[in-house]
Structure 1
Amino acid sequence: MPIAIKMPALSPTMEEGTLSKWLVKVGDQVSAGDIMAEIETDKATMEFEAVDEGVIAHIQVEEGTEGVQVGTVIATLAEEGEDAASVAPAGGGAAAPSPAPAPVEEKAAAPAPAPSPTPAPAPAPAASGSRIVASPLAKRIAEQKGIDLSTVKGSGPNGRIVKADVEGAKPGAAAPAAAPIAAPAEAQDFGIPHEVEKLSGMRKTIARRLTESKQQIPHIYLTVDIQLDKLLKLRSEINASLESQGVKLSVNDLLIKALAKALVAVPVCNVQFAGDTLLKFSRADISVAVSIDGGLITPIIKDAGNKTVSAISTEMKDLAGRAREGKLAPEEYQGGTASLSNMGMFGIKQFEAVINPPQAMIMAIGAGEKRPYVVDDSLQIATVMSATGSFDHRAIDGADGAQLMKVFKELIENPLGLLA
């Protein structure tokens, strides 16, 4: 019996993806575990493995196709003993309707929301006053184009309105929508020669999530200046002792450890706002911002407060390397209880980072530089950096954020505590 190969959900928040590249062709024999395709999600490009054995009988979605809904049949596999040439393509584009609750606006690693009423199976336009079932992306496009979703016929499972349904629709009787943040490029080029580059799935997700963060999260910013000289000396001594083991600590490795220990010491800041509840975490998992081609990803050092600095260093090098190659598993970059972003290597003195929802804080690290600084009641030259914590004021009070910044500063200025 032919096996339908469907577009997989490669992350908990994935609704659609781009089938970037097929690594098999019709007639190829595949076994469980073989890499069949590369799929671009909203986070990264990931490999898709076969879970069954057989021969590729049909490829129904060509490589390069964007917006392929999770559950769509993308290929057909003929089982052992079947004649692949006589196998008909597995039927259906999207997955069959299921009684699962309608998806809600994605929030990476957020707690599961209460189920919504199951949508009616009929794909007819919603009647006046009835609940309209549409994907978050379809809703955003409709709002920007002024489309009344009650006039749109959904082609997705259970009549759900998806991106393709609204892209070709004409504005209806919807109320005037708020103006988009930026007008299309052709409306702003002013006659200046330019190129138009289509946004990747990752860049679209970054744009959407950061906009949501600044619009929905009341940020409060707290900055401290921190003397680094003792930390730099300790780092040099540790690296000398670990040279034979091939371990070389960066300043960032020590800062990851310091933030984790500070969060454990000030647990009121190791939290997430979740509607009418507050999630309180017993360990500190630090998401570390890593720049990659086309965007940013945040691999996680789990339970960083209880790891040695050498273990953090080794793990961070591995995660950053695989992040740049697009080889991180979803569980390696989704989650985290707080984030750290370091732009000191670019000479940036100070900046205020945008909170990565659903987290409630992020630490922004500036460059360490020689500055006049009061040491033991005398003005001296010291290596100083500025660190700015961005806090979700719904979950963290200013005084509690200030306490975290104080502990973070003390750990760095008295760095032997990082080795305890």
Structure 2
Amino acid sequence: MPVPVIMPKFEMSQETGQIISWYKKEGDAVKKGEAIFSVETDKVTMDVESPGDGVLAGVTAKEGESVPVTTVIAYLLGAGESLPAGGAPAAATPQPAPAAAAAEAPKAPVSAPASATPVAQRMAAANALDLSAVQGSGPKQTITKADVESALARRGEEGKVRATPAARRVAREGGVDLDTVAGSGPRGRVQESDVQDFLSTAPQAAAPAQPQATAQASSADFDTIPLKGMRRTIADRMVASYQSAPHIMFTMSIDVSSLEGLRKRMNEQAAKRGEEKISMTALLTRAVAWTLLRHPRLNSTLTGDEIRQYKTANIGIAVALEDGLIVPVVRNVEKKGVAQLAAEINDLAKRARESRLTPSDVTGGTFTISNLGPFGIEQFTAILNAGQAGILAVGAVQKEVVVVNDEMVIRPIMRMTLSADHRTVDGAVAAQFMADLRSVMENPDLLLY
């Protein structure tokens, strides 16, 4: 019988996948285990292998299209086989429940259109939410888990929609029913930008008429880039993190003379052995791990009503890509030597730029380092990765005049800024973390203890 090819689910939180490239076209013969297309999620790009032998047929998803997970997007046909009636379905939907189980379903009407992901459908059913009243924010207006969560959060007391005054004003001026707008703010609160996004995606008939000449003139002045895939994920997560986590920032200047001297000596030995050079990032990562174990509140995540303090340092290293940013994770940093860390960081960065990271490479981080020093940036602040207690923004090493023993001398200075979640970390704890980090970087022999 025909073998279905589905959009895979690489991790629990994944709801869609974007097809980057088809390696095979309809009519091509493929073998089990052969890569047939590549998929980009919000974290990684992966090749998808053929689930069996056969001829590829009934392809319904094009390159660049985002598809809900578990959707059948093609079939593999054996000799003499043909596509099932209707070909590959547009989306995979759960089978109807048995009649006996239907008696236990909520009494409120619940719609389950094909434009809702399976996770969204289950959540709506469990909360007696009518999906026909929910606006989808996913590909082709597919209703996602986040849309359902926003709709549930907006129920509020006596059914009142949570919205900012500015959002209510824009909705009133645009004739928008706030019940139909998905909120992106805390607890599903509707923001002004949510209403503006709703108006921009509403049917043309409902939008105010615009002078044609103005539209034609302005369209030549800019390029429209769809906010989707990795870029959309970054945007959503940064907004959510900045709105939900009260950031506190601490900046400190560090004299890295001793650290640079240590690095020079280590690289001289590495050259003699034919090994890779030790990067400043590797030394910094090791120093951060040393400090985190002495300040576990910074090595923690906030999940619901729980703060989880970790006993090992899994540090994410931000890597810039052409179309976004990704944070692969170096695990058990405190147990590794600097040479091993340098090799692992280089390998992760290389695979990130080649889109060869796996889901396990980008999950499980307990702290993040973002280093813009190579770009000449002297100082900056970074937004927390959602859930994490801290992120360290690292600037470039600059020669500066400083006072040492009442004398002016020139020293290599690096500025670092710690952003911490004030819900998890008190100011004094964050300040002591930075003081100890400076101490170990200015006296790297402490790493031996």
Coarse TM-score class (shorter-chain normalised): 0.7 to 0.9
Moved more, 26-35 or 180-189: 180-189
Select 2:384's aligned residue among 355, 363, 368. Answer: 355
Residues 60 and 116 (structure 1 numbering): CA distance in 2 closer, same or farther, change over 3 Å? closer
Q: Aligned equivalents of 1:179 and 1:260: distance in 2? A: 41
Q: Does 1:371 align with 2:400?
A: yes
Q: Aligned equivalents of 2:35 and 2:260: distance in 1? A: 45
The match for 1:401 is 430
The match for 2:259 is 231
Q: TM-score if structure 1 supplies the norm length?
A: 0.79
Which structure has more helix as a fraction of its residues?
2
Residues 377 and 275 (structure 1 numbering): CA distance in 2 closer, same or farther, change over 3 Å? farther
Offset of 1:9 from its aligned partner?
1.2
The question of whether the paired residues in 2 share the 8 Å contact of 1:73 and 1:95 is answered with no
Residues 212 and 221 (structure 1 numbering): CA distance in 2 closer, same or farther, change over 3 Å? same
- Aligned pairs (5 A) from 1:51-70: 51-66=51-66, 68-70=67-69
Offset of 1:293 from its aligned partner?
1.1
Select 1:328's aligned residue among 342, 353, 357. Answer: 357
Select 2:297's aligned residue among 253, 261, 268. Answer: 268
The match for 1:220 is 248
- Aligned pairs (5 A) from 1:133-144: 134-136=143-145, 138=147
The question of whether the paired residues in 1 share the 8 Å contact of 2:283 and 2:338 is answered with yes
The match for 1:76 is 75
Residues 69 and 305 (structure 1 numbering): CA distance in 2 closer, same or farther, change over 3 Å? same
* 5+ long unaligned stretches in structure 2: 98-121, 135-141, 153-158, 160-174, 182-189, 202-209
* SS of equivalent to 2:126: coil
The match for 1:119 is 126
Residues 98 and 332 (structure 1 numbering): CA distance in 2 closer, same or farther, change over 3 Å? farther
Offset of 1:397 from its aligned partner?
1.1
Percent identical among aligned pairs is 34
The question of whether the paired residues in 1 share the 8 Å contact of 2:401 and 2:408 is answered with yes
Offset of 1:120 from its aligned partner?
8.0
The match for 2:119 is none
Q: Aligned equivalents of 1:172 and 1:325: distance in 2? A: 45
The match for 1:146 is none
The question of whether the paired residues in 2 share the 8 Å contact of 1:27 and 1:84 is answered with no
Residues 419 and 318 (structure 1 numbering): CA distance in 2 closer, same or farther, change over 3 Å? farther
The question of whether the paired residues in 1 share the 8 Å contact of 2:59 and 2:88 is answered with no
User: CA deviation digits over 1:351-380, x for unaligned, max 9?
Assistant: 111001121100011111111223244332
Q: Does 1:313 align with 2:342?
A: yes
Residues 91 and 122 (structure 1 numbering): CA distance in 2 closer, same or farther, change over 3 Å? farther
Q: Aligned equivalents of 2:397 and 2:432: distance in 1? A: 22
Q: Aligned equivalents of 2:346 and 2:311: distance in 1? A: 25
Question: Which amino acid letter does the alignment assign opposite residue 350 of structure 2?
Answer: G
Q: Aligned equivalents of 1:136 and 1:118: distance in 2? A: 12
Q: Aligned equivalents of 2:230 and 2:92: distance in 1? A: 23
The question of whether the paired residues in 2 share the 8 Å contact of 1:55 and 1:84 is answered with no
The question of whether the paired residues in 2 share the 8 Å contact of 1:291 and 1:297 is answered with yes
Offset of 1:40 from its aligned partner?
2.0
Offset of 1:405 from its aligned partner?
0.8
Residues 17 and 50 (structure 1 numbering): CA distance in 2 closer, same or farther, change over 3 Å? same
Offset of 1:35 from its aligned partner?
0.6
Residues 64 and 97 (structure 1 numbering): CA distance in 2 closer, same or farther, change over 3 Å? same
User: CA deviation digits over 1:220-239, x for unaligned, max 9?
Assistant: 11111110111111101100
Offset of 1:134 from its aligned partner?
4.7
Offset of 1:305 from its aligned partner?
1.3
Select 2:191's aligned residue among 162, 178, 192. Answer: 178
- Aligned pairs (5 A) from 1:72-111: 72-78=71-77, 82-85=79-82, 89-90=87-88, 93-97=91-95
Moved more, 321-330 or 118-127: 118-127
Residues 18 and 91 (structure 1 numbering): CA distance in 2 closer, same or farther, change over 3 Å? closer
* SS of equivalent to 2:387: coil
Offset of 1:2 from its aligned partner?
1.7
Question: Which amino acid letter does the alignment assign opposite residue 41 of structure 1?
Answer: T
The match for 1:161 is none
Residues 332 and 379 (structure 1 numbering): CA distance in 2 closer, same or farther, change over 3 Å? same
Offset of 1:126 from its aligned partner?
6.3
User: CA deviation digits over 1:295-348, x for unaligned, max 9?
Assistant: 000111111111110001111111101100111001101220000001111221
* SS of equivalent to 2:392: strand
User: CA deviation digits over 1:125-168, x for unaligned, max 9?
Assistant: 469xxxxx95256469999xxxxxx9xxxxxxxxxxxxxxxxxx
- Aligned pairs (5 A) from 1:230-309: 230-243=258-271, 244-309=273-338
The match for 1:107 is none
* SS of equivalent to 2:193: coil
User: CA deviation digits over 1:183-209, x for unaligned, max 9?
Assistant: 769999994822112234101111110
* SS of equivalent to 2:58: strand
Question: Which amino acid letter does the alignment assign opposite residue 34 of structure 2?
Answer: D
Q: Aligned equivalents of 1:54 and 1:175: distance in 2? A: 45
* SS of equivalent to 2:179: coil
Question: Which amino acid letter does the alignment assign opposite residue 57 of structure 1?
Answer: A
Question: Which amino acid letter does the alignment assign opposite residue 71 of structure 2?
Answer: T
Q: Aligned equivalents of 2:383 and 2:76: distance in 1? A: 45
* 5+ long unaligned stretches in structure 1: 100-114, 128-132, 144-149, 151-169
The question of whether the paired residues in 2 share the 8 Å contact of 1:374 and 1:380 is answered with yes
* SS of equivalent to 1:267: coil
Give the root-mean-square deviation of aligned CA atoms. Answer: 3.4
- Aligned pairs (5 A) from 1:17-32: 17-32=17-32
Q: Aligned equivalents of 1:377 and 1:230: distance in 2? A: 20
Residues 53 and 379 (structure 1 numbering): CA distance in 2 closer, same or farther, change over 3 Å? same
The question of whether the paired residues in 1 share the 8 Å contact of 2:3 and 2:51 is answered with no
The question of whether the paired residues in 1 share the 8 Å contact of 2:316 and 2:365 is answered with yes
Number of equivalences: 373
Q: Aligned equivalents of 1:189 and 1:252: distance in 2? A: 49
Residues 175 and 35 (structure 1 numbering): CA distance in 2 closer, same or farther, change over 3 Å? closer
